[in-house]
Amino acid sequence: MADLFDNASASDAHPHEAIRPLADRIRPARLTDVVGQEKVLGPDGPLGAMLAAGSLSSLILWGPPGVGKTTIARLLALETDLAFIQISAIFSGVPELRKVFDAARLRRQQGRGTLLFVDEIHRFNKAQQDSFLPHMEDGTIVLVGATTENPSFELNAALLSRAQVIVLERLDLADLERLAQRAEQELGRALPLTPQARDRLLEMADGDGRAGLNLIEQVMAWRVTGQLDTDQLSQRLMRRAAKYDKSGDEHYNLISALHKSVRGSDPDAALYWFSRMLEGGEDPRYLARRITRMAVEDIGLADPAAQRHCLDAWALYERLGSPEGELALAQAVIYLALAPKSNAGYAAYKGARDLARRSGSQMPPAHILNAPTGLMKEQGYGAGYQYDHDAEDGFSGQNYFPDGMKRPVLYLPVERGFERELKKRVEWFASLRQKRRTEGKT
């Protein structure tokens, strides 16, 4: 996994600075020089507080590529006078881990602790993750794991219970600008870009510090005269693909953002997240299925046409394919965002399922059961049933819940869209039901 300022030993340093990658040459030498992670490294942040107390616990550094996970681990070891040992879960197995643990144990006997940095720690299986536990517990190692995946899903509960998860954030444009200025100082000249092109270059890094420095290094190598504008820059550099893993955490983050934007009636935000997923290579059929689910869950009967609109857009996509069919899905997203919202049907369904689980196997009332045999008639099946079409207003008001069950209220329509009309009907039938019950008692 590429990370901002990946670790390199002193023996790797080349005597000619120009040959070393720019990211390596401006690697921070102190934690205060790390860009973009002030929330965790500051005096009130979790790492800042640990260092101030002189006690460093095992950590899981969770964040996207290029935000400084390796650098922070290396500098934590420097600050706490621990031996820094780095391994990668991609290339290491049980034999390598055993050697690392043995060396750490010997080092501890000699009076020095070990900070073991494990890159891509989520790639270790359960048994490999468990192998860290006894060495963490007896103080042989301070484990610092780095992962781009959600630790809640990828790491064992036992490991997580012994390590604090530290969330690192992607770098914003101001952070990347600070890196650019450091790069210019190191190289002794300014980027040959107009202000607008400079902003475009930083945007291309997509929050990844190492990627930003690599882009800067490319631009500096061109040795152009004057300044390049945004069009000239775009011709020379390909924009990096946005970070998006269709089976990983980013997938769920973006579909959640799309769903909540629709629910929040924000068509612009909904279109943005919809487009982000398409640009990341998401299957439009997956999006078609999810927006149809949104129509059922968040709009429901406030606008019954919303479900039909989604199904039509889905069918249009199947007929037209990409990219033309994606426009139909985009229009469905706009329709859903601007539709009246109600989860009354969804809430009623969940309430009914819960009631069904709790009420066990109670029989329906006898009067609404068919009686195809003589025995069933003798048992009272169908006795007293009132045919609603024969009743006044086409409504008998009979009880349809099990005998003895208190009548629940599951469906509570809202005063929005078509459900406003359904609310009137619910209230009308409720008043008629009460009237029939009163008449039956007199």
Query: 266-315: per-residue pLDDT in tens?
Result: 999 999 999 999 988 889 999 999 999 999 999 999 999 999 999 999 99
CA dist 338 and 305 (Å) reads 13
Instruction: Round to whole Å and give the CA distance between 255 and 200.
Output: 27
Distance linking the first and last C-alpha atoms of the chain = 80
Mean pLDDT on 56-78 = 94
pLDDT score of 244 more than 70:
no
- Decide if 320 contacts 328 (C-beta within 8 A): yes
Share the mean pLDDT of the chain. 89
pLDDT digits (tens, 9 = 90+) for 2-38: 444 444 433 344 445 557 889 889 999 999 999 999 9
Q: Which residue has the higher pLDDT, 12 or 385?
A: 385
Delimiting residues of CATH 1.20.272.10 domain(s) in the chain:
249-341
90 pLDDT more than 90: no
Q: Return the pLDDT at 243.
A: 59
Bridge partners (DSSP) of residue 144 are 59, 117
- pLDDT value of position 242: 59
For residue 206 the two structure tokens come to: 């997509």
Q: Is the pLDDT of residue 62 over 80?
A: yes
| Confidence at residue 225, expressed as pLDDT on a 0 to 100 scale | 87
Q: What is the 3-state secondary structure (H, E, C) of the chain?
A: CCCCCCCCCHHHCCCCHHHCCHHHHCCCCCHHHCCCCHHHHCCCCHHHHHHHHCCCCCEEEECCCCCCHHHHHHHHHHHHCCEEEEEECCCCCHHHHHHHHHHHHHHHHCCCCEEEEEECHHHCCHHHHHCCHHHHHCCCCEEEEEECCCHHHHCCHHHHHCCEEEECCCCCHHHHHHHHHHHHHHHCCCCCECHHHHHHHHHHCCCCHHHHHHHHHHHHHCCCCCCECHHHHHHHCCCCCCCCCCCCHHHHHHHHHHHHHHHCCCHHHHHHHHHHHHHCCCCHHHHHHHHHHHHHHHHHHHCCHHHHHHHHHHHHHHHHCCCHHHHHHHHHHHHHHHCCCCCHHHHHHHHHHHHHHHCCCCCCCHHHCCCCCHHHHHCCCCCCCCCHHHCHHHCCCCCCCCCCCCCCCCCCCCCCCCHHHHHHHHHHHHHHHHHHHHHHHC
Strand partners, 146: 61
The rounded distance, in Å, linking the Cα atoms of 196 and 203 is 11
Structure tokens at 312: 């039509």
Query: What is the pLDDT averaged over residues 112-138?
Result: 93
Asked if residue 227 lies in contact with residue 192, where contact means CB atoms within 8 angstroms, the answer is yes
Burial of 141 (0-12, 13-18, 19+ CB in 10 A): buried
For domain 249-341, is the CATH number 3.30.230.70?
A: no
Q: What is the pLDDT of residue 239?
A: 63
Lowest-pLDDT range, 36-45, 212-221, 320-329, 388-397? 388-397
Q: Is the pLDDT of residue 240 over 90?
A: no
**Six-digit token string for 371:** 């009686």
pLDDT at 366: 86
Q: CA nearest 345: which of 387, 284, 295, 383?
A: 295
How many angstroms separate the CA atoms of 75 and 245, rounded?
30
Domain 173-236 classified CATH 1.10.8? Answer: yes
Whether residue 324 has pLDDT greater than 60? yes
Separation CA 144–CA 61 (nearest Å): 7
Per mean pLDDT, which range of 192-196, 320-324, 380-384 is the poorest?
A: 380-384
Per-residue confidence (pLDDT) for residue 360, from 0 to 100: 79
**Each residue of 387-428: pLDDT tens digit?**
889 888 899 888 888 888 899 999 999 999 999 999 999 999
Mean pLDDT of 55-80: 94
pLDDT band per the 50, 70, 90 thresholds, residue 149 = confident
On the 0-12 / 13-18 / 19+ scale of CB atoms within 10 A, 248 is middle
CATH of domain 37-167: 3.40.50.300
**374 or 416: which leads in pLDDT:** 416
Residues forming CATH 1.10.8 domain(s) in the chain: 173-236
Q: Which regions of the chain carry the CATH code 3.40.50.300?
A: 37-167
Alpha-carbon torsion angle 250, 255, 261, 262, nearest 10: 170
Q: State how far the Cα of 295 lies from the Cα of 146, in Å rounded to an integer.
A: 39
Average pLDDT over residues 222-242: 82
What gap in Å lies between CA 220 and CA 226, rounded to an integer? 12
Residue type, 207: G
Give 1's pLDDT tier (boundaries 50, 70, 90).
very low
Structure tokens at 161: 């219970």
Q: What is the mean pLDDT of residues 148-173?
A: 92
